[in-house]
Amino acid sequence: MNRRILMIVTSNARMGTTGQATGLWAEELAVPYYRFVDAGLQVDLASPDGGAAPIDAGSLKPRGENAPLVERWLADEAAQAKLRTTTKACDVDASTYDVVFFPGGHGTMWDLPGDAGVKRAVESAFAAGQLIASVCHGAAGLVSAKGADGQPLVKGRRINSFTDDEEAAAGQTETVPFLLESRLRELGALFEGAPNWQSFSVRDGQFITGQNPQSSDRVAHDVLESLGIKPAQARAA
């Protein structure tokens, strides 16, 4: 049986009303994408609005200067086509996927929490016993989901995300609509974090969550391990 992963990315290209550009953080998509593809998994992309998903220009350097997997992704026309033609999240049955995976980027903070398709994807995947994973601000996709008991799905679960300290270090505390770590704590999550910019992830049942771009590879490894799949001999991250 072919294992399938649904990556849900942001459709939002602006930091609220500031006019500052944002979007998806390239590393947080590219690194897990190739870990999964190289291990033989099918990866599909969705977003709140469908269609082309924006990339945060701050996550890219000039061609030839990015990390190898980001360079591979930039040169991969099939992968780029997927990013230009994402499926609308509300049109996807997430329960048919083995994993729902949320890459981050500041754009997620504005559109993932309020999107009905994202909420349903998380709730249906959880009810079906599937894995739910996120990197960095991708955990914004978890904050609205509720269980059959009406309680937040993250309540009582060990969860990680981009931390409030990292948001302050990035200079965006007053820009984002809410602080992700604080919101997760308010929802009852048992938040676990690491020092700024350290690779860190948490696994708790169906949830696998990582802290920052540096954690992208670690989260992908945890997902594959949870699926019982040995990671392929990796090309350099």
Is it the case that residue 235 has pLDDT exceeding 60? no
What is the side-by-side order of every strand in the sheet holding 42-47? 87-88, 42-47, 4-8, 99-102, 131-135, 207-210, 201-204
**Beta-carbon count within 10 A of 74 CB:** 17
What pLDDT, on the 0 to 100 scale, is given for residue 231? 75
Tell me the pLDDT band of 232, cut-offs 50, 70 and 90.
Answer: low
What pLDDT, on the 0 to 100 scale, is given for residue 221? 97
Q: What angle do CA 35, 37, 42 make, to 5 degrees?
A: 130
What pLDDT, on the 0 to 100 scale, is given for residue 24? 98
pLDDT in tens, 36-74: 999 999 999 999 999 999 999 999 999 999 999 999 999
Nearest-angstrom CA–CA distance, 15 and 17: 6
The model's pTM is 0.96
Q: What is the pLDDT of the chain when averaged over all its residues?
A: 96
Domain boundaries, the chain: 4-226
Q: What is the CATH number of domain 4-226?
A: 3.40.50.880
pLDDT in tens, 75-126: 999 999 999 999 999 999 999 999 999 999 999 999 999 999 999 999 999 9
Paired with 6 in beta bridges are: 44, 100
Is it the case that residue 31 has pLDDT exceeding 60? yes
Strand 190-191 relative to strand 158-159, pairing:
parallel
* Contacts for 201 with CB less than 8 Å, ≥ 6 apart: 160, 208, 209, 210, 211, 215, 218, 219, 222
